[in-house]
Chain A
Amino acid sequence: MADSARLGLVTYLMLAVRNLMRNLMRNQRRTTITLLTMIFGIAVLTLLSALNDGWLSQMKTNFILSYTGHAQIHAKGFEASQNLRDRITNPEEVTRLMQSYPEILGWTQRIRTSGLASVGGGSAGIQIMATDSEQETWVTSIHEHVTKGTWLRPGMSQDLLLGATVADTIGASLGDRVILMAQRPAGEMVSEVFYLRGILETGAPQIDRTLALIPLNTAQVWLKMGQSITDIVVRADQHENTDLVVHLFAQQLSDQTYEIMPWQELDPMVRQWLEFSDAYGLVIILVVVILVLVEILNTMLISLHERHKELGVIAAIGTTRFQIFSMLLLEAVLLIFIGASLGYLAGSLLVYSLSGSGIDLSGYANAFQFFYMNPVIYPDLTTDSAIRILGTTLVAAVLAGVYPAWKATRLSLSQALRIQ
């Protein structure tokens, strides 16, 4: 019987393909409606998925490049305490590792602490970030968000950049003398005079509302930290290598001394938003696929009803139940494959037509900036989404085919053969 099953397979495939083609032609109106439903569903799904992936990718890139980098290395416990006592005292131990990893595109060192900014009568709580003006540009694009004035100038120790909102709050203008107040690691409060050289407008409220940027060397002297720093910010060559970079550092650095955090852990809100968006994308896929599945199931059941007799005949002359089952299942898979392929092609064309201009949502720009989004969304058709859409559709095809195929194996032969 093994021979029979092997050789018969070609016949079943042939029968399935011919049956499919005949069924497509037998009721052309139904076929057109079914195929159009599938094509429309899969095309919309492809476009929505591409838009979702597009804005998620933009959001991820904006988040990573505007401030956090792909990963940060801190002294153990710093992220929770935000206290300068938890600092990296020997950054050289970490930075020398950077050279050996080609996945690392750049890094920078920072001191991060909270403080107070005041000018004239106005004052506000701030997040002081001291960084190397040149190294920072290798890692983040924050220097591109200077909307007024200039970026930190090399050798100018008293330069200060403020977020646009905080500058407004305290009423500071370019060239103003701004007094920053902070706490040294030993606990004493100190203040220093800086001159406002630039205003930053990243669009992310949490940055624009609190950030005060000063040169790293100045901060190390002012806060009496020697060569110590609080953050080493790392940029990987691509987003997908974040975990690899974290893993490489985790292997080399003691977890008793350091904490190595990928960007997802540095801002739980962004991480949750990305997870929610992924889940939302999956829900869209599921809804569309369920609709397609129901449509195909309906078509297959009607087709099964119409071919009751034919199935009875092939069973009567010696086709086993398994062979009938696999033949009908294959038929459903082929039908969905045709619809899904055409739908995906139509969706890809839609994405392609929008990929140049994107979808302009600048009317909602403020709301979108909150989520690190650009006002123009460019759809992005990724391999992952193609696999997700076509894979889910394939699973749906199998599910849609299983019930009618199983039902076909339960036919009463004598009744089927009596049908006129």
Chain B
Amino acid sequence: MTSIIKTHDLHKCYWVGTMPHPALHGINLDIKQGEFAVLAGRSGSGKSTLLNIIGALESADSGSVEVFGQNILEMTQDQRTRFRLHNIGFVFQAYNLIRVFNARENIAYVCQLQGKSKEESLEIANHWLREVEIEHLGYRRPDQLSGGQQQRVAIARALASDPKIILADEPTANLDTQTGRNLIHLMQDLNQRPGTTFLISSHDPDVKEAASRLIKLADGQIVDEWSTIPKTPTSIYSDCPVQNMPFGERVQFKIKRLIRWRRIRKPSKKNRRRS
């Protein structure tokens, strides 16, 4: 498969006053076309920073980021904006829909930015609303939609500009488990379309399980990385990547999952007091 995102020795450091806070340490990454790649890691591991840099929302201190062979770090701000408009779709954790527009207009806005007529843009919006199965909610404004519905609109908006890459930053973090799973199912379905690559940062185990490639970050470095055969939407819950792990890791993973499950079912005393 063709590489569409390549980072080389990427460094990024934030400064709070005179205190440096390193975010990325020499990230080398190669994402192939059609992958459903997930960036995993704790808070502060650099997932969002890496996603922002790849999405031309932020610049790096050193290194290079090539998307479709173009080094986006060398672009001017307006060139980056145009690059984002035509090549990258974004899905954010907090949905980030424009509150004054209804769902249809939110999607059509991106098409209009691309120079399409209003009619054509609305037609595209209707198409994507159908694809994400909320066509009947097209005239509702974001504050009249549930979180899951808003995220579906956000995905439709991301896809409406016909991008080659979708970057999603914690897309299921604000959703309940079932809605999150449905959304993953939807993204996987959309990933099957030729050429649409998903790069997702997430804590969510369901997202990680759905990944065709999992990249684990810790302290701004890639510490683990593995690939599986891309899953079909029907197999994501049955065909767990755990089965591909070596025996020792598999046992360790299952014990951890059990502990996590117990925590969800039965909160600790400390948590009970808080609640």
Contacts from A to B (Cβ < 8 Å) = 1, 3-4, 6-8, 10-11, 15, 18-19, 22, 309-310, 313-322, 413-414, 417, 420
Contact = CB atoms under 8 A, between A and B. Distances in A.
Nearest to A313: B96
Given A1-B82, A317-B90, A18 B100 contact: yes
B84 A11 contact: no
B94 A420 contact: yes
Contact of B161 (A3, A309, A318): A318
B36 interface: no
24 contacts: A1-B115, A7-B115, A7-B118, A8-B115, A10-B112, A11-B109, A15-B98, A18-B100, A18-B101, A19-B100, A22-B100, A309-B96, A313-B92, A313-B96, A314-B98, A316-B57, A317-B161, A318-B110, A319-B113, A320-B78, A322-B78, A417-B52, A417-B57, A417-B92
A315 B82 CA distance: 10
Nearest to A418: B48
A11 to B, nearest CB: 5
A8 B101 CA distance: 15
Given A7-B116, A8-B112, A320-B82, A417 B100 contact: no
Contacts of B157: 317
A317 B110 contact: yes
A222 B96 CA distance: 97
B99 interface: yes
Contacts of A313: 92, 96-98
Contacts of A319: 81, 113
A414 B53 CA distance: 9
Contacts, number: 83
Nearest to A314: B98
Contacts of A316: 55, 57, 84, 90, 96
Contacts of B96: 309, 313, 316, 417
Interface in B91-128: 92, 94, 96-101, 109-110, 112-118
B85 interface: yes
B77 interface: yes
B170 to A, nearest CB: 11
Chain B interface residue bracket vs A: 20 to 34
Contacts of B78: 320-322
Contacts of B114: 4, 318
Instruction: Name A's interface SS.
Output: helix
**Max chain B C-beta neighbours (<10 A), residue from A317, A320, A322:** A317
Given A316-B90, A317-B157, A320-B78, 16 more contacts: A4-B114, A7-B117, A8-B112, A11-B109, A11-B113, A15-B109, A18-B100, A22-B99, A313-B92, A313-B97, A314-B109, A318-B114, A318-B161, A321-B77, A414-B49, A414-B52
Across the A-B interface, give the 6 residue pairs with the lowest CB-CB distance, nearest first.
A318-B85, A3-B115, A4-B115, A18-B100, A313-B96, A414-B58
A320 B85 CA distance: 10
Given A11-B109, A313-B98, A417-B96, A318 B115 contact: no
A321 B78 CA distance: 7
B33 to A, nearest CB: 22
Contacts of B112: 7-8, 10-11
Nearest to B81: A320
B58 A413 contact: yes
Contact of A310 (B85, B98, B116, B161): B98
A4 B81 CA distance: 13
Interface of B: 48-49, 52, 55, 57-58, 77-78, 81-82, 84-86, 90, 92, 94, 96-101, 109-110, 112-118, 157, 161
Contacts of A417: 52, 57, 92, 96
A22 B118 CA distance: 22
Contacts of A420: 94
A22 B96 CA distance: 17
A321 B115 contact: no
Most buried by B among A4, A15, A22: A4
Contacts of B116: 7
B113 A317 contact: yes
Contacts of A18: 100-101
Given A417-B92, A420-B94, A318 B100 contact: no
B47 to A, nearest CB: 13
Contacts of B58: 413-414
A14 to B, nearest CB: 9
B205 to A, nearest CB: 24
A320 B82 CA distance: 7
B200 to A, nearest CB: 16
Contact of A318 (B98, B113, B118): B113
Contacts of B57: 316, 413-414, 417
Contacts of B84: 316-318
Nearest to A22: B100
B100 A15 contact: yes
A301 B211 CA distance: 43
Contacts of B161: 317-318
Contact of B99 (A11, A310, A315, A322): A310
Contacts of A310: 98-99
A309 B95 CA distance: 11
Nearest to A317: B110
Given A11-B109, A310-B98, A417-B92, A317 B85 contact: yes
Nearest to A21: B100
- Specify which of A4, A316, A319 lies most central, judged by the most chain B CB atoms within 10 Å of its CB: A316
Contacts of A315: 81
Contacts of B92: 313, 417
A407 to B, nearest CB: 15
Contact of A8 (B77, B86, B100, B113): B113
A314 B100 CA distance: 12
Contacts of A10: 112, 118
B24 to A, nearest CB: 13
A413 B92 CA distance: 13
Contacts of B113: 4, 8, 11, 317-319
